[in-house]
Amino acid sequence: MYRKDIGIIIPAYNEEDRLGATLKALKKIDLVKDILVIDDGSVDRTGEIAKKEGVKLITLNKNRGKGYALKEGIDHLDNSIIVFLDADIGATAKEVTKLVYPLLENKAEVTIGKIAPTPGKGGFGIVRRLAQRAFEYLTGKKCSSILSGQRAFKREVLDKDLLNYKRYGIEFGMTVDLVQRNLRILEVPIDISHRITGRDYKGFVHRGKQFFDILIVVLQKKLRTLYQEEANQ
């Protein structure tokens, strides 16, 4: 029998449409002790829905980005396992147990949800390919789920230094750091559905922001490496 000590952190920005379903699914999981929503400056009913569902809520006065929201969250939970989830996964949030069990069984220190692409939907995979190639360049390793927002951590390996990245660079930068710390990371297939970024103007803008934020992280890490090499000479 596993101890009920899982803490869930959900950063949310204008997620009134799907947050309620996500929270309802999580509240049915026996292992989950705490659910914390970080309302990242939403202008809709996101915070109101979190209150209605009776979960913990932190409200930021303006949109700060995912990295900032997650840093706020880990200060307020002390569970033995911390899970990061996207707010828009609805009823499929029940899949979180697949991320947790490998940690409870000591098969990994970090798990990352591996979501199969939906045929014929979404974008062109440009950002994903950039992230995978940049990740391999920086670490010498492969990871197919670098941009996944569904992750679980043993509490002792999770700290704010992993979250020092802005907006869409957070998952990429965090994953590079996890590998460079030589932690035991396991990609876990999960059947989760979330809002798909389409091929319209809004979708192109979204991917452009992702591309830029990841590129910034790559340049920062490469410059830091060059600086360290020069300092050691």
Q: Would 117 be classed as within a structural domain?
A: yes
Beta strands 6-12; 81-84: pairing state: parallel
Q: Which residue has the higher pLDDT, 111 or 210?
A: 111
Q: How many domains does the chain have?
A: 1
Q: Would 141 be classed as within a structural domain?
A: yes
Asked if the model's pLDDT at residue 45 lies above 60, the reply is: yes
Q: Would 1 be classed as within a structural domain?
A: no
Q: Which residue has the higher pLDDT, 233 or 151?
A: 151
Q: Which residue has the higher pLDDT, 199 or 125?
A: 125
**What gap in Å lies between CA 212 and CA 215, rounded to an integer?**
5
Asked if the model's pLDDT at residue 58 lies above 80, the reply is: yes
Q: What is the pLDDT of residues 107-157, one digit of tens each?
A: 999 999 998 765 545 555 778 888 889 899 899 999 989 999 999 999 999
Write down the pLDDT at residue 184: 97
Q: Would 176 be classed as within a structural domain?
A: yes
Domain region containing 186:
6-231
Q: Would 68 be classed as within a structural domain?
A: yes
Q: Would 201 be classed as within a structural domain?
A: yes
Mean pLDDT value across residues 23-39: 97
Q: Which residue has the higher pLDDT, 115 or 11?
A: 11
Beta strands 185-190; 6-12: pairing state: unpaired
Write down the pLDDT at residue 41: 97
CATH label of the domain that carries residue 108: 3.90.550.10
**What gap in Å lies between CA 81 and CA 77, rounded to an integer?**
10
Q: Which residue has the higher pLDDT, 133 or 26?
A: 26
Q: Which of 31-35, 122-126, 219-223 has the lowest mean pLDDT?
A: 122-126
Q: Which residue has the higher pLDDT, 215 or 209?
A: 215
Asked if the model's pLDDT at residue 199 lies above 70, the reply is: no
Q: Which amino acid is at 64?
A: R
Write down the pLDDT at residue 38: 98
Residue 89 contacts residue 192 (beta carbons within 8 Å)? yes
Asked if the model's pLDDT at residue 30 lies above 90, the reply is: yes
Q: Would 144 be classed as within a structural domain?
A: yes
Q: Tell which residue, 48, 102, 88, has the closest CA to residue 192.
A: 88
pTM: 0.89
Write down the pLDDT at residue 211: 80
Asked if the model's pLDDT at residue 209 lies above 90, the reply is: no
